[in-house]
Chains A and B, each alone.
Chain A
């Protein structure tokens, strides 16, 4: 039986009067790639940010490998220190890369493993160099992020997340800020990770990626889980009218040369 990495149980979140997430539940098994799809404003990014408690959920529980995130056994909210320790188990890739501008590419990869996880520097460095080779950026190791293209920045972003040896990787629209011709190089890396069995939750608008790299699709609309299905099931035979409209809109865009 596959090991359950992530369990999201009844998570809700509101910003003022606006209910962004309502009663979201889903599980992710080890090695799965779950793509979260849905129209803008459907709460996808907020859901991702709730998983590692960048946003604090108003209700519900989140478990990573069986350990509840954010709340102690006694129902007490975790201290910053405890939260930080759990967050090191979850890698995150950001829409706008969010690389640390004062550090070189290699230093970006090494910063958290050395400073937060307190792993030996030599070991972290070897691993970081191997990761840079994997994302095809060995020659950029001593360059500052500002000198990279968007696609290169995002590949560094992915390598930086992997350097933490996370149990789970979260992607928050990793290709949305990229010029169309740079999207491919990032998706290649993500596909490879999916194939290797990295456990990932990917918020994306890349229907092609969702169709052939995801193990499951989570379709959100107005903060609710509308469908949860295999990619084949979701794209060829959506169960709801909302999903059907959504897929059609994107199919239309793709036909017009969009993504």
Chain B
């Protein structure tokens, strides 16, 4: 068994590059999903019913599709519609769109729980449009939604493992190539699990620092 971990150690370059790719995938798609969420959320709450219904349909639909299936559709399905994306683009697009639906729903919840008066005070004190959103609406919203957004980021890290099926060289892909090359499944996969865990600990540390900021303001 020690010997098996020795083999994994000798392939550490492969694992670390997998970890690096998983991190890049997760960070980029989490940021993009959050941004897209900020676009979808106002639409979700729009007074125009056609708009809110359309976005609601997307959000609910996306949340009922298994991610693996969605990744299949983006990578293998879209080419039959004439859209051919390489595996990196497919992976990023799939993670982003899939999680934007969750982010929109998270932000909508936090948004509608925000008291109306401080925002009205912002308007009365001369804030408008972008400044109003950036200075008055957004900070309390992020503080309130921070922990749930953090959870979703952990979900994104884990979902990214599915992208091994489209041959994206992320962490799970690296672990499974090590195991097939050397036949050390237990050592290879446990090592990958520990690395995923480490990544999640980093996210959790970020969440708890947001939580401390929020607690001071409650």
Shortest CB distance A202–B (Å): 16
Do A115 and B131 form a contact, CB below 8 Å, given A87-B124, A100-B136, A102-B140? yes
Q: Is the CB of A102 within 8 A of B125?
A: no
Q: Are B121 and A94 in contact (CB under 8 A)?
A: yes
Nearest A residue to B214 by beta-carbon distance? A102
* B123 CB to nearest chain A CB (Å): 7
A84 CA / B127 CA spacing, docked (Å): 6
Q: Give the contacting residue for B118; candidates A87, A98, A164; CB below 8 A.
A: A98
A-side interface residues toward B, CB under 8 Å? 52, 54, 80-81, 83-85, 87-88, 90, 92, 94, 96-102, 111-112, 115-117, 144-146, 160, 164
Interface string of B94-126 (1 = CB under 8 A from A): 000000000000000000000101101111111
B127 contact from A90, A112, A160, Cβ within 8 A:
A112
Partner of A102, one of B115, B117, B127, B217: B217
8 contacts between A and B (CB under 8 A): A54-B124, A96-B117, A98-B121, A100-B140, A101-B217, A112-B126, A117-B126, A146-B217
From B117, B118, B125, B129, contact of A116 by CB (8 A): B125
Given the known interface contacts A100-B118, A101-B140, the answer about A116 and B126 at a Cβ–Cβ threshold of 8 Å is yes
A87 and B123 contact, CB distance less than 8 A? yes
- A16 CB to nearest chain B CB (Å): 16
Contact status A100-B143, CB under 8 Å: no
CA distance A90 to B118 in the complex (A): 16
B124 touches A85 (CB 8 A): no
Q: Would A52 and B128 count as touching, CB distance under 8 A?
A: no
Closest to A116 in B: B126
Q: Does B194 contact A (CB under 8 A)?
A: no
Q: How far is the CA of A22 from the CA of B91 in the complex (A)?
A: 61
B binding-site residues for A, Cβ under 8 Å: 115, 117-118, 120-129, 131, 135-136, 139-140, 143, 216-218
CA distance A83 to B218 in the complex (A): 32
Name A102's closest neighbour in chain B (CB-CB). Answer: B139
Closest B residue to A81 by CB, please name it.
B128
Interface contact B218-A146, CB-CB below 8 Å:
yes
Q: How far is A81 from B129 in the complex, measured between Cα atoms in Å?
A: 9
Q: Which residues on B sit within 8 Å (CB–CB) of A112? A: 125-127
B118 to chain A, nearest CB (A): 5
Q: Is A83 touching B128 in the complex (CB atoms < 8 A)?
A: yes
Contact (Cβ within 8 A) B121 A100: yes
Closest chain-A Cβ to B42's Cβ sits at a distance in Å of 16
Would B127 and A144 count as touching, CB distance under 8 A?
no
Pair B125/A88 contact, Cβ less than 8 Å: yes
The interface residues of chain A lying within 8 Å CB-to-CB of B136 are 100
Question: What residues of chain A lie closer than 8 Å to B218, measured between beta carbons?
Answer: 146
A116 to B127, Cβ gap below 8 A?
A: yes
Chain A residue at smallest Cβ distance from B131? A115
A87–B217 CB distance below 8 A:
no
A54 neighbours in B (Cβ, 8 Å): 120, 123-124
Residues from chain A with a CB closer than 8 A to the CB of B128 are 80-81, 83-84
Given A101-B140, A116-B131, A164:B125 Cβ within 8 A: yes
Residues on A with beta carbons closer than 8 Å to the beta carbon of B123: 54, 84, 87
